[in-house]
Amino acid sequence: MRRLISYLAALPPLVLLTVAPAPAPVAASASSFAFNWAQAPAAPLDWTPGQVNDWDLVENNDGPTDNNGSMEAGHGADCSAPPATHHLSTLADSVFICKSHVMTALYGGGDAYATYGAIYFAPAQLADWSQGPATVSWKVSTQRLSTRDWWQVNLTPFAQNMTLPLTPDLPAYQGQPATGLELRQDTGTCKSGQLGSIVRVSRISGAQASEITQDAPCVEDAVSPSAATRSQFQIDVSGGHLKV
């Protein structure tokens, strides 16, 4: 089975999210793919993927405008580490690189056109487990600034790929693909009794998601929230097996 991988940061009203996929193995085979934002610019650098054979990137705030809500985004104007910030007000600046990782920043308050927005990005790669198991892994910061900030990863058959997939009970975008797998960050109660980030796994069939999560794993039960440390998440999948 060949599936297209797409990553969603659905982030209203404010997010300072860092993402860095896991580094490549020392002896990567021809069938493997690894990626990292390796630049270390002197100022926040807008991420602009190439026009051919590169990532797809969509920055959107659910309105006919190129403006983001005016906000202070993570990292200073010289890419100094948080809590330093820099000002931005356009969608073109909402995905940027500092210190060898990518940051996303959307704001749905203040002068924003809409209160809802999302950033989608997908590599020009397929995950193929037709001949054996496949692994998809990525690293992301565990800090959340709002219960309305979350990330989501979809594995979708290439022929059913959607530009803006999202659960249909939310107010925007295209709904669910016809089939696939979805891994989504949600809010729930951790073993400590405190609210935290629950990782929910769903099987999608007939454009409807059926949750198959076991034990409602809470991220904060395993690692402390951090804006600086990017923790690894991983999906192992084969014809009859799924491990997250």
112-163 pLDDT, tens digit each: 998 888 999 999 999 999 989 999 999 999 998 888 889 999 999 999 999 9
Q: Cα(153)–Cα(183) distance, rounded to whole angstroms? A: 5
Angle among Cα 46, 6, 146 to the nearest 5 degrees reads 70
Helix (H) or strand (E) holding 188: strand 179-189
Cβ-contact 1, 239 below 8 angstroms:
yes
Question: Residue 30: which pLDDT band, with cuts at 50, 70 and 90?
Answer: very low
Q: In whole angstroms, give the CA distance from residue 69 to residue 151.
A: 20
Q: Does pLDDT of 14 surpass 90? A: no
Alpha-carbon distance of 227 to 144, in angstroms, equals 8
Across the range 98-104, mean pLDDT stands at 95
Rounded-to-integer distance, Cα 49 and Cα 57, Å = 7
Average pLDDT of the segment spanning 73-91: 95
In the predicted structure, residue 81 carries a pLDDT above the cut 50: yes
Residues 33-46 have pLDDT tens digits of: 999 998 999 999 99
Residue 20's pLDDT is 42
Cβ atoms of 198 and 162 closer than 8 Å: no
- The total of structural domains in the chain comes to 1
pLDDT at 227: 86
Q: Is the pLDDT of residue 18 over 50?
A: no
Task: Please give the residue range of the domain that contains residue 67.
Answer: 2-243
Write down the pLDDT at residue 242: 94
**Is 94 a residue whose pLDDT tops 80?**
yes
Mean pLDDT of the region 167-187: 91
Average pLDDT over residues 12-25: 38
Q: What is the pLDDT of residue 108?
A: 87
